[in-house]
Amino acid sequence: MIIYGNELAASFKEKMKAEIETLKKENKRLPLLTVILVGNNPASQSYVRSKEKACLSIGMENKTIVLPEDISQQELENVVQQQNEDDTVDGILVQLPLPKHLNEQAVIDKISPLKDVDGLHPVNAGALLTNRSGFIPCTPKGVMAMLESIGLDDLSGMNAVVLGRSNLVGKPLALLLQNKNATVTIVHSKTKDIKTITSKADILVAAIGQPKMVKSDWVKDGAVVIDVGINRMENGKLCGDVDFDDVCDKVKAISPVPKGVGPMTVCMLLENTLESYHNKERKNG
């Protein structure tokens, strides 16, 4: 079975679009996502464009603030603060990576946890750690939705292995899998004999940024494999961290790259922004 994230994302987006259409009909305020882009890194520009497009596709308001490459830490933090204070803004995302002279973590810390739709603020990271409500980072949230889509909701008794331990993907994903009762192992670049660990996984998620590193002898028969990796090959095409052709006959289900986790990530950003909108509207009565 191939788990197409683009198809799943389309169905999530249909629901959100209908919800926003209802808000429009009722003349209500619409949810608004602010994206802050510093400098002119082409990859970041393209990610920001795809977020704008996604907002448009469901009728969500969006605002992109483009700032010069040489902006100071203080100036950038001031822009974030203005968005924190703007009541019409529901979600704030600072496109990473930032230019080298800027302190990324300090900028993330400046975002109001109530508008941190990327789920990277320490308050939201702490909420996830303690299994409380908060914004969940979009990629891990998308992976969990993909697992749910094939009936994997309660993961009791299952071994899950996460390849990668980044704050953005690996760590939060391991927590989410554990919160669903999986027994989780995290593997990283200092792990010895990775293959022995991955070949015991009922669920294997790869998020290492190593093109086609996961081969069939890394994978248990009948496993579910989710490929988060996005790598550009010499021929310009994208590939994942999993060697899809080598692995696909051995597994029960696998996600492709492209059309896999990527579209779910953007979709979960919209979902988090909508969640933030509803939180705010509830608070305002």
Q: List the interface residues with ligand NDP, window 256-285 (CB under 6 A).
A: 261-262, 265
Q: How far is the CB of 20 from ligand NDP (least distance, A)?
A: 23
Catalytic residue (choose from 13, 83, 95, 212): 95
189 touches ligand NDP (CB under 6 A): yes
Among 30-38, 47-55, 127-135, 184-192, the segment contacting ligand NDP (CB under 6 A): 184-192
User: How many residues of this chain bind ligand NDP (CB under 6 A)?
Assistant: 23
Amino acid symbol at 98 = L
User: Does 95 participate in catalysis according to the annotation?
Assistant: yes
> Are 91 and 119 a contacting pair, CB within 8 Å?
no
166 is known to lie in a ligand binding site: yes
Task: Kindly report whether the peptide bond that precedes residue 211 is cis, defined as omega within 30 degrees of 0.
Answer: no
Alpha-carbon distance of 31 to 137, in angstroms, equals 19
Query: Helix, strand or coil for residue 120?
Result: coil
Select from 231, 252, 259, 280 the one that contacts ligand NDP (CB under 6 A).
Answer: 231
Closest approach, Cβ 206 to ligand NDP, in A, equals 8
Residue number with CB closer to ligand NDP (185 or 210): 210
Please, what's the b/e burial string for 247-270 (b: 16 or more CB within 10 A of its CB; e: otherwise)?
bbebbebbbbbebbbbbbbbbbbb
Q: Which of 108, 116, 76 is nearest to 92 (CA)?
A: 116
6 binds ligand NDP (CB under 6 A): no
| Structure-token pair, residue 212 | 């086609």
Question: Catalytic residue among 13, 51, 110, 212, which?
Answer: 51
- Comparing CB distances to ligand NDP, the nearer of 44 and 166 is 166
Residues forming contacts to ligand NDP in the complex (CB under 6 A) are 139, 163-166, 168-170, 187-190, 207-210, 228-231, 261-262, 265
Q: Which residues are annotated as a binding site for NADP(+)?
A: 164-166, 230
